[in-house]
Amino acid sequence: MRHTKTIIMYSMYELMGDQVTGGMKRFLELYRGLLQKEADVILYSPEKEASGFDGKQVIRLNPLKKKKGLPIGLCFAWNNYASVRKIRKNREAKVVVFDVPTAIGLVPFGIRHMVLFIRQDLVETRRSLFEGKRAWKWHIRYWSLLLSESLCFLQAEKIVTQCKKDAYEIKKRHVLLRRIIEDKLCIQINNVNASWMVPVSGQRIEDRHGYRIGFVGSVGDTKKGLLQLLKAVDIYRKKYGAITLYVIGDGSLLEDYKNEYSSEDTIFFGYVSKPMELIVNCDLFVAPSLTDSCPNTVLEAFYHNIPVIGSNRGGIPELLQNREAVFEPEENEIAAMLYDYRDPERRAALMDRQAKRKKQLTFDWAGALLDMILN
């Protein structure tokens, strides 16, 4: 069925770059899903070339140029002034934007019918970047983030979160806007059957210890909880014996972690384009995030039938729906849970429960979001 209402998807990040984040994967998944459903979609994005978009309507934007003291979304929108004005003139179109840092650039233009997708808890995500810095710097940053969120929530026609936890935190932070937010709020969890999730052909790698765990995530900051996992593995080895850890991901902290924790049994692979080809060799996948709304890595582990344990932060408990698989992201507690799941029978029982959850999370994600956007 052909949908007559135009949907504009606006991104300040290149979607077909070399290293695509989880949020960008989801943005691209939504774009392609809407096209498959014959929606009239126009993509505004700073792509270097239009290849990979099937000849559809793609407006190539100028790349982001940061200016000190200004939100990056405002810098990007100003650098693409003519294109943003064109979006504004299309008064009937639904404008899909992922996250406040991008959306704040559209607010001064008075963009109508903006559908704001919250892909991360902005405040909690940024809080980790201020660890060890003076408190007053964080307070200034906190209130600027709060202001940005408020302006975007007032401007948006709809606000879509990935999990109940994010929705709760947003309403808790913005007490004065609570009723307005509730009227606009929709919650849609992610799916297991995303188009990039396909069976992998990774060869089985032999492990001399017989117990191997895996981590996939950015190593550019502390929010993914890798440091807590590395410390937990050290504790495990001292208390319980041998274990192998695969760390897949790149970032500014990688060399520091490698220098301190790299060993024959803690292997840092850096960036890997298809991480699941390595993770399928693991007996257990660990998501120790300090903040994470709805990590694709957990869903990918589900897809490949790998048992998952994760922290009690963000939307991870909503994904797992199993108290026995959730831990406080603290090294001693993680080590204890790693020991609990050393037993193959416990891992098999965990996998049986997660198979049921995997079935629940297999659905038409793009179709559900299309209904939210248009209705």
The answer, yes or no, to whether residue 179 has pLDDT greater than 90, is: yes
SS3 of residue 298 by DSSP: helix
Please report the pLDDT score of residue 135 as a whole number.
Answer: 76
**pLDDT given for residue 129 in this prediction:** 66
Tens-digit pLDDT profile for residues 271-298:
998 999 999 999 999 999 999 999 999 9
Q: What is the pLDDT of residue 15?
A: 84
Residue 309 to residue 323: CA distance in whole angstroms: 10
Average pLDDT, the chain: 91
> Residues of 52-61 as b/e, b for ≥16 C-beta within 10 angstroms?
ebeeeebbbb
- pLDDT tens digits, residue range 48-90? 765 566 557 889 999 988 888 889 999 999 999 999 999 999 9
Which is more confident, 3 or 224?
A: 224
pLDDT exceeds 70 at position 198: yes
Rounded CA separation 117/161 (Å):
6
Q: Which pLDDT score, from 0 to 100, does residue 200 have? A: 84
Q: Cα Rg for the chain, rounded, in angstroms?
A: 21
pLDDT reported for residue 19: 63
Q: Which comes out higher in pLDDT, residue 201 or 91?
A: 91
Render pLDDT for 98-154 as a digit per residue (tens, 0 to 9): 999 999 999 999 999 999 999 988 888 877 666 666 777 778 888 999 999 999 999
Pick the CATH number of 212-360 from 3.30.70.20, 3.20.20.60, 3.40.50.2000, 3.75.10.10: 3.40.50.2000
Enter the DSSP assignment of 355: H
Residues of the chain with CATH 3.40.50.2000: 6-187, 212-360
Identify the pLDDT of residue 224: 94
Burial of 244 (0-12, 13-18, 19+ CB in 10 A): buried
The confidence band for 204, taking pLDDT boundaries of 50, 70 and 90, is low
Could you tell me the pTM of the whole model? 0.92
Least confident of 56-60, 247-251, 316-320: 56-60
β-strands 114-118, 94-98 pairing: parallel
| Residue 187 phi, psi dihedral angles, 5° rounding | -120, 125
Give the pLDDT band (50/70/90) at residue 351.
very high
114-to-118, 229, 351 alpha-carbon distances in Å = 12, 39, 40
Percent of the chain's residues with pLDDT above 90: 77
Residue of 325, 348, 217 whose CA lies nearest to 271: 217
Asked whether residue 177 carries a pLDDT value surpassing 90, the answer given is yes
Instruction: Give, as one character, the DSSP assignment of residue 222.
Output: S
pLDDT at 350 over 90: yes
Per-residue pLDDT, 201: 72
| Mean local confidence (pLDDT), 178-195 | 97
- Other CB atoms within 10 A of residue 143 CB: 10
Q: How many CB atoms lie within 10 A of CB 74?
A: 17
- Residue in 257, 221, 191, 8 with CA at minimum distance from that of residue 129: 221
Summarize pLDDT for 251-263 with one digit per residue, the tens: 999 999 999 998 9
Judging by beta carbons within 10 Å of its beta carbon (0-12, 13-18, 19+), is residue 119 exposed, middle or buried?
buried
Domain 6-187, second-level architecture: 3-Layer(aba) Sandwich (3.40)
- Residue 336's identity, in one-letter code, is A
Which pLDDT does position 62 carry in this prediction? 94
Choose among 209, 338, 215: nearest CA to 279: 215
> Whole-angstrom Cα distance, residue 329 to residue 225?
7
